[in-house]
């Protein structure tokens, strides 16, 4: 989620199989209560993420639809009743950290008129407490053979097992390959450099490139890649299920043209990340997306019906991460307004106006009003405090 939540490279979860006998294996052999169906499900589009109404045991939950997650997730602090233990499995989060976690079989899960029986989920610690999200629906929904269309303009998810239902849609298709059971498509961020990139609706950004990939891009196209750099800093901005990424050099980039789906996204600002390169849910601001698992294809349907989209997003100028239990400035762009006002990497937020800030959770759930000026009290790594006035503005 970068920008407080929007800056959190939130939930690029991938579950991997293991040859070790004690670990469970990835499965998507859950059963469906319907066949030869088409269902339209009302979705929420909140803070740049797709939220689905899911019913389990007569209770309605809000689940994030995250194509970067191989399987469903439920959070340890809000358990779903009726889960059955199914062993342990290896899990990798958005920062690249890997751990062994508990796997469970969920009770029957209802999504629209469709009921999934035998669906598996991992039990994970919530990356950021205070968010009103109860769990995750992962890419196993698509791997099970269901075609899907996400259209945030109409706030709809269309699910079907009819292979030809979307055949008359005018789209820009891209074949995907599966790695750790989640989809990767080929993109070109600059020059002749291309790579397979995770398609991850769990991330709010349009695009993020891994530091390793950007180094490979620079090695291949040289000065052309260097011309994309509009700043660099030591920092960290991604938060995964197993903690924040480590402190490292981050490049602030301005891409003239990002090619994906044989479509051009122009004037794109982004930053490098220690996790994997990814296309995120930010793409859904510019078009609908259709998943065709029988063709291993993801199709982009631009709202402007053109071959080019002008993005012109703002550069990420500040990111907050937890330092212990407290909110800290994890990353800051020296050309941005927060830096000009006085924020620095490593600053701890201790007060907003007259309200003491006692935890990262309290900070990310603070009721900021867009356009209002706030007085931030911060403490630097040496222990000195200072005050900064900052007007909270919504990103373009």
- Write the pLDDT tens digit of every residue in 246-262: 888 999 999 999 999 99
Long-range CB contact pairs, 351-358, < 8 A, 24+:
351/376, 351/377, 352/376, 352/377, 357/326, 357/327, 358/325, 358/326
pLDDT over 60 (residue 185): yes
Q: How many domains in the chain?
A: 3
Q: Are both 304 and 363 inside the same structural domain?
A: no
Confidence at 80, pLDDT banded by 50, 70, 90: confident
> What's the CA gap between 104 and 92, in Å, rounded?
17
Q: Which residues of 181-193 are buried (b: 16+ CB within 10 A; e: fewer)?
A: bbbbbebbbbeeb
The CA distance from 29 to 140, in Å, is 9
7 & 152 share domain: yes
Same domain? For 50 and 190 the reply is no
Q: Does 210 map to a domain?
A: yes
Co-location of 111 and 214 in the same domain: no
The CA distance from 89 to 17, in Å, is 7
What's the whole-number mean pLDDT along residues 191-209?
95
**Torsion angle defined by CA atoms of residues 325, 4, 181 and 268, in that order, rounded to the nearest 10 degrees:** -150
Query: Is 17 in contact with 26 (CB distance < 8 Å)?
Result: yes
In a domain, 166, yes or no: no
Does 78 have pLDDT greater than 90? no
Judge if 301 and 326 occupy the same domain: no
Does the pLDDT at position 7 exceed 90? no
Overall average pLDDT of the 44-59 stretch = 94
- Looking at 13-17, 50-54, 391-395, which range is the least confident one? 13-17
DSSP3 helix / strand / coil % (the chain, rounded to 5): 10, 50, 40
pLDDT at 243: 63
140/396 Cα distance (integer angstroms): 33
45: pLDDT confidence band, cut at 50, 70 and 90?
very high
Is the model's pLDDT at 17 over the cut of 60?
A: no
One domain, residues 230 and 278 = yes
Say which CATH number the domain at 287 has. 2.40.70.10
Question: In this model, does residue 19 exceed pLDDT 80?
Answer: no
Mean pLDDT calculated for residue range 27-36 = 94
370 pLDDT exceeds 70? yes
Residues 201 and 54 reside in one and the same domain = no
Mean of pLDDT values over 377-392: 95
Question: Residue 342 maps to which CATH number?
Answer: 2.30.42.10
Give yes or no: residues 89 and 230 share one domain: no
Write out the residue range of the structural domain in which residue 333 sits.
318-391
Tens-place pLDDT, residues 83-113: 999 988 887 766 666 778 899 999 999 999 9
- Beta carbons of 8 and 239 less than 8 angstroms apart: yes
Task: Kindly state whether residues 179 and 55 are assigned to the same domain.
Answer: no
Q: Do 324 and 381 belong together in one domain?
A: yes
Q: Mean pLDDT across the stretch 23-31?
A: 87
Residue 16 has pLDDT above 50, yes or no: no
How many residues are present in the chain? 396
Q: Looking at the whole model, is its pTM more than 0.75? A: yes
Phi–psi pair at 21, nearest 5 degrees? -65, -30
Given 106, 129, 160, which residue is the final one in a domain? 160
pLDDT mean over 290-312: 96
Percentage above 90 pLDDT, the chain: 76
Q: What average pLDDT does the segment 134-153 reach?
A: 96
For residues 108 and 123, give the distance between their C-alpha atoms in angstroms, rounded to a whole number: 17
Same domain as 141, residue 229? no
Which is more confident, 181 or 4?
181
Among residues 137, 160, 183, the one where a domain terminates is 160
């Amino acid at each position: 989620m970068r920008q407080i939540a929007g800056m959190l490279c939130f939930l690029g979860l991938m579950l991997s199989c293991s040859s070790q006998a004690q670990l469970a294996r990835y499965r998507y052999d859950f059963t469906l209560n319907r066949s030869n169906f088409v269902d339209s499900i009302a979705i929420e589009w909140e803070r740049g993420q797709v939220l689905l109404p899911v019913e389990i045991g007569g209770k309605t939950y809000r689940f994030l639809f995250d194509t970067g997650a191989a399987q469903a997730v439920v959070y340890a602090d809000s358990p779903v009743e009726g889960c059955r233990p199914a062993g342990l499995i290896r899990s990798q989060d958005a920062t690249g950290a890997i751990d062994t976690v508990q796997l469970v079989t969920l009770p029957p899960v209802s999504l629209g008129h469709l009921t999934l029986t035998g669906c598996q989920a991992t039990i994970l610690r919530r990356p950021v407490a205070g968010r009103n999200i109860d769990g995750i629906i992962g890419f196993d929904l698509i791997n099970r053979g269901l075609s899907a269309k996400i259209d945030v303009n109409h706030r709809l998810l269309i699910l079907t097992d009819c292979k030809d239902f979307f055949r008359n849609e005018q789209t820009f298709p891209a074949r995907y390959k599966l790695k750790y059971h989640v989809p990767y498509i080929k993109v070109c961020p600059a020059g002749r450099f291309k790579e397979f990139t995770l398609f991850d609706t769990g991330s709010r950004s349009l695009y993020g490139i891994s530091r390793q990939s950007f180094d490979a891009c620079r090695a291949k196209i040289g000065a052309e890649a260097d011309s994309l750099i509009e700043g660099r800093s030591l920092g960290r901005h991604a938060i995964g299920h197993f903690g924040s990424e480590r402190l490292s050099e981050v490049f602030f980039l301005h891409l003239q043209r990002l090619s994906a789906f044989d479509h051009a996204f122009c004037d794109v600002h982004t930053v490098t990340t220690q996790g994997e390169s990814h296309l995120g849910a930010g793409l859904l601001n510019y078009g609908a997306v259709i998943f065709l698992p029988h063709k291993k294809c993801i199709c982009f349907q631009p709202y402007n019906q053109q071959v080019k989209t002008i993005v012109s997003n703002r550069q990420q100028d500040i990111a907050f991460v937890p330092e212990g239990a407290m909110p800290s400035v994890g990353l800051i762009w020296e050309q941005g307004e927060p830096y000009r006002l006085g924020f620095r990497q490593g600053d701890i937020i201790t007060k907003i106006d007259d309200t003491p800030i006692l935890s990262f959770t309290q900070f990310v759930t603070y009721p900021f009003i867009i356009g209002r000026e706030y007085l931030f009290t911060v403490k630097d790594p040496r222990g000195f405090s200072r005050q900064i006035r900052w007007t909270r503005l919504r990103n373009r």
